Amino acid sequence: MQVDLDGDQNLGPHSRLVMTLNDIHTPVLLERCVELLAPALEKPGAVLVDATLGMGGHSEAFLTRFPELTLVGLDRDTDALAIAGERLARFGDRVHLVHTVYDGIADALDGLGITSVDGILFDLGVSSLQLDRAERGFAYSQDAPLDMRMNQTEGITAADVIATYSEHELRNIFHKYGDEKLSARYAKAIVTNREIEPITRSGQLVHILTVATPAALSHSGHPAKRVFQALRIEVNQELSVLETAIPAALGKLALGGRIVVMSYQSLEDRIVKGFLQTGAASSAPVGLPVELEQFKPELKLLVRGAELASDEEKARNPRATPVRLRAAERIKVAA
């Protein structure tokens, strides 16, 4: 098993790792992902990229069910890579883990000498590991430092955004990435309060947002939910990364290979939908009497629209509630 963490691989006390391994959450839409990717992974020597490895739940299932499968697991979170590495160690050299953001998929595969792959899985958004560790600052329900970096080895934190962005910039990201109707009100409250004292903890921010929320809207959902989502997206540049990652992934997908992408909010899903639908459409000029080979679609969509979790899945695994799944198969070699 190759592990490239680009730095410190120490997760901390051994008990912390064991506790996490014993408390791993159910992977979202696991059986559906297996069903969709299986036709591409059943051949000898097949390669699957888990572009959002997390704690390795999906990957473990695929490695178990397809005994000749090679896995390449990508993640920007060094804690996740350490946990997944422990979980997948029994599969030996069938596993290659790489510390990278998922838009680095092409470089990761090139570094391993892999020219094309048979399956690609994206499970987007914040992971169970990140949500459940209060010290990471992703959850508005627990007081913690305002970090929110998926890769804690680099980049700005949520506290940096709160401290340095102008009122106009804060308003824009709350509206654009969180669809927050009170974005202007919240941005003004943050700027006013940061002049009194630095806002460095999630509890402080939640209090500011709660006080700024009109009483008439105080029962229409937690006031911090959309703001925290917007901050997380901004800190990790999730949408710009995704816009690079999907075409890069499709560029590595072999003929007959399949891609499955699970999104958890509409902005992500819109990006995924755009790339997959474009690939599944003819590029022939309007009015061409016969569709020439070079204009035929490169992809075939495997599900109609965005597939949602069943009621049973939602009851069993509440984190599947907002999921939108899309999938496609490469039916023509990329131009």
Give tens-digit pLDDT for 197-226: 999 999 999 999 999 999 887 777 788 899
Q: At what angle do helices 183-194 and 202-212 cross, to 10 degrees?
A: 120
Give the residue among 155, 169, 165 at the shortest CA–CA distance from 194. 165
Q: Which residues contact 26 (CB under 8 A, 6 or more apart)?
A: 57, 316, 317
CA distances from 58 to 177, 206, 218, 309 (A): 27, 33, 38, 16
Cα–Cα distances in angstroms (integers) from residue 167 to residues 45, 158, 270, in the given order: 53, 15, 27
Q: What is the pLDDT of residue 296?
A: 85
Under DSSP, the state recorded for 285 is P
Homologous superfamily (CATH) for 2-129+238-330? Vaccinia Virus protein VP39 (3.40.50.150)
The answer to whether residue 20 scores a pLDDT higher than 80 is no
Closest by CA to 112, choosing from 10, 246, 238, 252, is 252
Is 102 annotated among the ligand-binding residues?
yes
CA distance to 6, 139, 148, 290, per residue, from 134 (Å): 25, 7, 10, 59
Q: Please tell me the predicted confidence (pLDDT) of residue 253.
A: 98
Please indicate if the annotation marks 305 as binding a ligand: no
* Predicted pLDDT of residue 22: 45
| Fold topology of 135-236 | DNA polymerase; domain 1 (1.10.150)
- What is the DSSP code string of 71-139? EEEEES-HHHHHHHHHHHGGGGGGEEEEES-GGGHHHHHHHTT---EEEEEEE-S--HHHHH-GGG---
What pTM does this model have? 0.86
Q: How far apart are CA 251 and CA 276, in angstroms?
A: 12
Q: Binding site annotation covers 130?
A: yes
Structure confidence by residue, pLDDT tens digits, 146-188: 999 988 788 899 999 999 999 999 999 999 999 999 999 999 9
**Does the annotation flag 58 for ligand binding?**
yes
Q: Is 25 a known ligand-binding residue?
A: no
More reliable by pLDDT, 51 or 152: 51
Residue 35 has a pLDDT of 98
Q: What is the pLDDT of residues 253-296, one digit of tens each?
A: 999 999 999 999 999 999 999 999 999 997 666 666 666 666 68
| Percentage above 90 pLDDT, the chain | 73
pLDDT in tens, 130-142: 555 555 656 676 8
57 is in an annotated binding site: yes
What is the overall mean pLDDT for the chain?
88
Residue 17 has pLDDT above 60, yes or no: no
What percent of the chain lies above the pLDDT cut of 70?
84
Please write the tens of the pLDDT for every residue from 64-109: 999 999 999 999 989 889 999 999 999 999 999 999 999 999 999 9
Question: Quick one: pLDDT at residue 251?
Answer: 97
Question: Is 90 exceeded by the pLDDT of residue 4?
Answer: no
Given this model, what pLDDT does residue 136 score?
60
Radius of gyration of the chain (CA): 21
> 């799944």: which residue's tokens?
325
Any idea where the domains of the chain sit in the sequence? 2-129+238-330, 135-236
- pLDDT at residue 3 greater than cutoff 50: no
The token duo for 161 is 């955004």
Is residue 12 a known part of a binding site? no
Alpha helices for 213-284 (secondary structure H): 225-236, 238-251, 266-279
